[in-house]
């Protein structure tokens, strides 16, 4: 399972790093892509060795992951990001977004008739069914409300992309107690 994560400057660090670290720990084939090789988060923490988005074929990926944060403004304006999101939804691939990111899916019409969550104050009439929960899974759509749910969001992605056995192994390795 190949996972593509998109981040721009001013991404929310914990919403990115918790899923990235846990997915890598689980053995996921994760590519973190952007328009430049170093991206700086909302709290001035930088990630380097980022794959340039122009150097990948997004159609080769099975899952799309978009963290939240103020970078959502740039993501919402990017026709390339719209093209990628539309492709994943149109091809029934797994799409994951946390905090502000699901609002982009809604803006593009992909939350219609879906259960989802997002940062509460950013919820709009997206034609779906907003759930006031930390993480919501509806088919191949995984959404999370806020930074507080970053780890639970990562767990949902691991379970969906790699299975419950892999998730249970991760839980054992990090001493997670349910």
User: Which secondary-structure segment (H or E) carries 155?
Assistant: helix 150-162
Euclidean distance between the first and final Cα of the chain, in Å? 26
Give residue 177's pLDDT: 80
- The 8 Å CB, 24+ separation contacts for 164-172 are 166/26, 166/27, 167/26, 169/26, 170/22, 170/25, 170/26
Give residue 19's pLDDT: 98
Are 153 and 133 in contact by the 8 Å Cβ rule? The answer is no
Give residue 142's pLDDT: 98
Give residue 33's pLDDT: 98
Give residue 136's pLDDT: 98
Q: What is the pTM of this model?
A: 0.97
Extract the residue ranges of the chain whose pLDDT is less than 50: none
Domains within the chain, CATH numbers bracketed? 2-173 (3.40.50.880)
User: Which secondary-structure segment (H or E) carries 23?
Assistant: helix 13-25
User: Which secondary-structure segment (H or E) carries 73?
Assistant: helix 72-77
> Could you report the per-residue pLDDT of 119-171, keeping only the tens digit for each?
999 999 999 999 999 999 999 999 999 999 999 999 999 999 999 999 999 99
Give residue 119's pLDDT: 97
> CA 51 to CA 34: how far, in whole Å?
6
């Amino acid at each position: 399972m190949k996972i593509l994560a998109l981040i721009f400057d001013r991404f929310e660090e914990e919403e990115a790093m918790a899923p990235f670290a846990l997915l890598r720990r689980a053995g996921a084939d994760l590519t973190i892509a952007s328009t430049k090789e170093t991206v700086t988060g909302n709290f001035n923490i930088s990630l380097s060795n980022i794959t340039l988005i122009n150097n990948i074929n997004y159609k080769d990926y099975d899952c799309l992951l978009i963290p939240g944060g103020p970078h959502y403004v740039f993501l919402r304006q990017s026709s390339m990001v719209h093209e990628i999101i539309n492709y994943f939804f149109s091809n029934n691939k797994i799409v994951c977004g946390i905090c502000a990111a699901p609002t982009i899916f809604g803006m593009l019409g992909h939350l219609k008739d879906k259960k989802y969550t997002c940062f509460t104050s950013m919820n709009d009439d997206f034609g779906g069914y907003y759930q006031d929960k930390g993480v919501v899974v509806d088919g191949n759509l995984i959404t999370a409300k806020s930074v507080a749910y970053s780890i639970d969001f990562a767990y949902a992605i691991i379970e969906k992309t790699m299975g419950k056995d892999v998730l249970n192994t991760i839980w054992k390795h990090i001493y997670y107690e349910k």
